[in-house]
């Protein structure tokens, strides 16, 4: 049982990198995606005409664009330096 504790203690961060899953550009893209989604859902809301062009076509396109930016934010790897 002591052996397991020693193994887990020796597996600390050997590269010295931070423990963040994504880079800063990924978090920025996620924030932009969230803002786009909020704008899209706000365009869909309201109690005015249900069959308004904004609610039927523009708002869903904005929401899909927001989800698309979110997917890019997740899969974007960024530029790797020569040492990595």
How many domains does the structure of the chain reveal? 1
Residue with tokens 């997917």: 71
Contacts of 4 (CB under 8 A, 6+ apart): none
Determine, yes or no, domain membership for 48.
yes
Q: Is the pLDDT of residue 12 over 70?
A: no
Tell me if the pTM is above 0.75: no
Q: Which residue has the higher pLDDT, 14 or 61?
A: 61
Distances (CA, A) of 22 to 12, 13, 60, 72: 19, 16, 28, 12
Domain with 43 in it? 36-78
What's the average model confidence in pLDDT over 40-44? Answer: 93
Determine, yes or no, domain membership for 24.
no
Determine, yes or no, domain membership for 25.
no
Determine, yes or no, domain membership for 3.
no
DSSP-assigned letters across all residues of 33-58: HHHHHHHHHHHH-SSS-TT-HIIIII
């Amino acid at each position: 049982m002591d052996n397991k504790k020693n193994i887990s203690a020796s597996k600390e961060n050997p590269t010295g990198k931070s423990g963040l899953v994504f880079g800063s550009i990924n978090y920025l893209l996620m924030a932009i995606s969230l803002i786009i989604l909020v704008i899209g859902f706000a365009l869909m809301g309201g109690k005015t005409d249900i069959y308004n062009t904004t609610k039927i076509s523009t708002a869903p396109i904005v929401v899909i664009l927001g989800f698309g930016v979110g997917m890019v934010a997740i899969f974007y790897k960024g530029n790797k330096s020569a040492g990595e």
